[in-house]
Chain A
């Protein structure tokens, strides 16, 4: 990569020449350089992008490649095995094309996880920075809300709220009535972890010299938050985002599996397994495929999170 001239110091400290020459680079540049060498993380990112591309081009694939309609049911064609004529991955219990449904389900599962992760991220960063920076009564109140939310089993809380929202007849027909109600539920209930994280980071940054000097020259709190605090916690936030999206895919699939999340006829990887116990004898592949997609997606997101953590770790030396 760089020229291999030996500097006298590096031999003594035992650090490779490269890292010393590059000290002028910002953490982000360093992180991107490390990421580009991290094969596993790159593969994981590639898989996620590929899955997203395939899912979101589902209407095109359905029409031009598979030549099926994912909603058309046909009892005569139920439980066709994978490889059957016209159906690469076979058909489900009512004769719908399995592959097409998996793609559409991917659309919903990925979209819900990504968007709700972004919502909880926005809430979490805002609340975390505010409570961490100001402390005092605001901090106490938010902390109280977080402890309360966290002591209720997550699954039950989500199910109760989704039961309330999805059964509310005033909302049917609006955007909150469909699968996207789940986005808001997951987003608005999932911010406690990231808030605590950001609050902790802010607390540790708040007393650093550069913040104190910024305050001394009269910077407004808002200015300090946006130019001095948030850029410094962004790496932590990105790492958490990857892990959060993975967890949200798991949570969404569990909710949909139990019948409290995405409702049929909309497909999600979770609700495709709701009736799995009736498939056991007739179509094992119907049980395997959706779960496998969940595992692959979540695994890749975890790997990406781990890779980001290593890449952004300021103490790691190439």
Chain B
């Protein structure tokens, strides 16, 4: 078990190296290079720009810069007082020690900016994952039990339909319905003349504005979670229901189900005790990537509903050319994805006794 986990973790190392290399290259390819945003001041003379570039070390060979980005530059002496002699050691710790640098636009350490956004993203993501499983799995089981029936057909069509609906459009339509059409219908006022008609559900944000700052407890702002969770959960519901149905049908064909039927168990016991429990196992392979995918997967939903999460942070940073933030989000979510896969492999091996650790 420990050996298996270790091996899976070691196998992830090349991918981690690949991700850091790719991120670093992409950052270097940004027009003007990584110094563009810092030295963008038009009043700077070429000499001053050169000095900034030297202090940041962007004139060194790429592999050197890459290593410095990874492990920091405390080993490098920097010429801070411009006398031509490098004197002060660098202060960066490198991303391997959690130092993702300073955000260009917010002028704060990237790691701080990111960590304060994680709770909001997790809140939305876990809610969506919860509803995705709680609604999707029973739908899949029922569709498999009543294969070929009307429930099966309807859920199949709905699953394909919801896969074909762009997430951002679904969000916009919901905002349109609850923010404009429904209030208009209820109050009989044309919103084009009264743009401030109160919406049925909040149109965005994570909670009501509080004078003292901070976020009220979750039970006081469930209405804020409703629409974004719905938008985010539809994909999960569609996916899990189809997957559960396929897995269920797979299990039903097994010999032990025939045995269970033959020994006279009620159909309910056959389907749910012997069928569904075993059909749930492959779903574990989905869980790891799903949990970590929530970190970045909600970017569009967060943007539409002004949800102050990680995905929106990354999108805003992209617009503002704030590449340290972007790269940190990308690297963190990539790492999360890798560990998600490792996690689900281990989980799967744990639940399924047919898989041997070797």
What chain B residues lie within 8 Å of A270 (beta carbons)? 166
Give B294-341 interface residues, CB cut-off 8 Å to A: 296-297, 299-300, 303, 314-315, 318-319, 321, 326, 329-330, 333-334, 337-338, 341
Q: Are B15 and A295 in contact (CB under 8 A)?
A: no
* Interchain CB contact (< 8 A) of B314 among A156, A254, A295: A156
Q: Does B175 contact A (CB under 8 A)?
A: yes
Nearest CB in chain A to that of B19: its residue: A148
Known contacts A253-B166, A260-B318; A303 and B172 CB within 8 A of each other? no
Q: Does A114 contact B (CB under 8 A)?
A: no
Q: Does B18 contact A (CB under 8 A)?
A: yes
Nearest CB in chain B to that of A162: its residue: B318
Q: Are B297 and A153 in contact (CB under 8 A)?
A: yes
* Interchain CB contact (< 8 A) of A294 among B169, B326, B334: B169
Known contacts A164-B31, A167-B31; A287 and B330 CB within 8 A of each other? no
Chain B 155-197 per-residue mask, 1 if CB under 8 angstroms from chain A, else 0 = 0000011011111110011011001110000000001100100
Q: Does A205 contact B (CB under 8 A)?
A: no
One of B22-30, B213-221, B280-288 contacting the partner: B22-30
Known contacts A156-B299, A299-B161; A258 and B15 CB within 8 A of each other? no
What chain B residues lie within 8 Å of A295 (beta carbons)? 161, 164-166, 169
Give A121-162 interface residues, CB cut-off 8 Å to B: 144-145, 147-153, 155-157, 159-161
- Chain A's interface: helix, strand, loop or mixed, by majority? helix
Q: Does B14 contact A (CB under 8 A)?
A: yes
Q: Are B318 and A164 in contact (CB under 8 A)?
A: no
Q: Are B168 and A273 in contact (CB under 8 A)?
A: yes
Q: Are B18 and A145 in contact (CB under 8 A)?
A: yes
Q: Are A291 and B31 in contact (CB under 8 A)?
A: no
CA–CA, A152 and B22, complex, Å: 10
Nearest CB in chain A to that of B303: its residue: A258
Q: Are A156 and B330 in contact (CB under 8 A)?
A: yes
CB distance from B235 to the nearest CB of A (A): 11
CA–CA, A276 and B326, complex, Å: 26
Q: Does A281 contact B (CB under 8 A)?
A: yes
What chain B residues lie within 8 Å of A276 (beta carbons)? 172
CB distance from A266 to the nearest CB of B (A): 19
Q: Are B167 and A152 in contact (CB under 8 A)?
A: no
What chain B residues lie within 8 Å of A190 (beta carbons)? none
Nearest CB in chain A to that of B296: its residue: A153
CA–CA, A258 and B172, complex, Å: 13
What chain B residues lie within 8 Å of A226 (beta carbons)? none
Nearest CB in chain A to that of B193: its residue: A281
What chain A residues lie within 8 Å of B163 (beta carbons)? 298, 302
What chain A residues lie within 8 Å of B173 (beta carbons)? 287-288, 291
Q: Are A284 and B169 in contact (CB under 8 A)?
A: no
Q: Does A179 contact B (CB under 8 A)?
A: no
CA–CA, A148 and B12, complex, Å: 10
Q: Does A58 contact B (CB under 8 A)?
A: no
Q: Are B299 and A155 in contact (CB under 8 A)?
A: yes
CA–CA, A163 and B315, complex, Å: 11
CA–CA, A123 and B293, complex, Å: 27
Give B1-42 interface residues, CB cut-off 8 Å to A: 14-15, 18-19, 22, 26, 29-31
* Most chain B Cβ neighbours within 10 Å, of A160, A259, A299: A160
CB distance from A247 to the nearest CB of B (A): 9
Q: Are B180 and A302 in contact (CB under 8 A)?
A: no
* Interchain CB contact (< 8 A) of B326 among A151, A156, A168: A156
Known contacts A164-B31, A280-B179, A291-B169; A151 and B26 CB within 8 A of each other? no
* Interchain CB contact (< 8 A) of A156 among B166, B175, B180, B296: B296
* Most chain B Cβ neighbours within 10 Å, of A163, A254, A298, A299: A163
CB distance from A147 to the nearest CB of B (A): 5
Chain B 101-124 per-residue mask, 1 if CB under 8 angstroms from chain A, else 0 = 000000000000000000000000
Q: Are A151 and B164 in contact (CB under 8 A)?
A: no
Q: Are B160 and A148 in contact (CB under 8 A)?
A: no
Q: Are A152 and B300 in contact (CB under 8 A)?
A: no
Q: Does A169 contact B (CB under 8 A)?
A: yes
Q: Are B337 and A151 in contact (CB under 8 A)?
A: yes
Nearest CB in chain A to that of B323: its residue: A160
Q: Are A299 and B26 in contact (CB under 8 A)?
A: no
Q: Are B164 and A246 in contact (CB under 8 A)?
A: yes
Q: Are A273 and B172 in contact (CB under 8 A)?
A: yes
* Interchain CB contact (< 8 A) of B318 among A149, A163, A281, A299: A163
* Interchain CB contact (< 8 A) of B18 among A148, A253, A280, A303: A148
Q: Does A257 contact B (CB under 8 A)?
A: yes
* Interchain CB contact (< 8 A) of B31 among A151, A157, A169: A169
What chain A residues lie within 8 Å of B179 (beta carbons)? 280
CA–CA, A76 and B181, complex, Å: 25
Give B196-217 interface residues, CB cut-off 8 Å to A: none
Give B80-113 interface residues, CB cut-off 8 Å to A: none
Nearest CB in chain A to that of B318: its residue: A159
Known contacts A284-B181, A295-B164, A299-B164; A152 and B172 CB within 8 A of each other? no
CA–CA, A277 and B180, complex, Å: 11
* Interchain CB contact (< 8 A) of B19 among A152, A258, A299: A152
Interface residues of B (CB under 8 A from A): 14-15, 18-19, 22, 26, 29-31, 160-161, 163-169, 172-173, 175-176, 179-181, 191-192, 195, 293, 296-297, 299-300, 303, 314-315, 318-319, 321, 326, 329-330, 333-334, 337-338, 341
A-B CB contact pairs (8 Å), 26 listed = A144-B18, A147-B14, A152-B334, A152-B337, A153-B334, A153-B337, A156-B330, A160-B330, A161-B26, A164-B31, A250-B166, A258-B315, A273-B168, A273-B172, A277-B172, A281-B180, A281-B195, A282-B192, A287-B173, A287-B176, A291-B166, A294-B169, A295-B166, A298-B166, A299-B160, A306-B160
Q: Which 9 A-B pairs have the closest CB atoms?
A: A148-B18, A291-B169, A298-B164, A153-B296, A299-B164, A281-B191, A151-B337, A151-B334, A280-B180
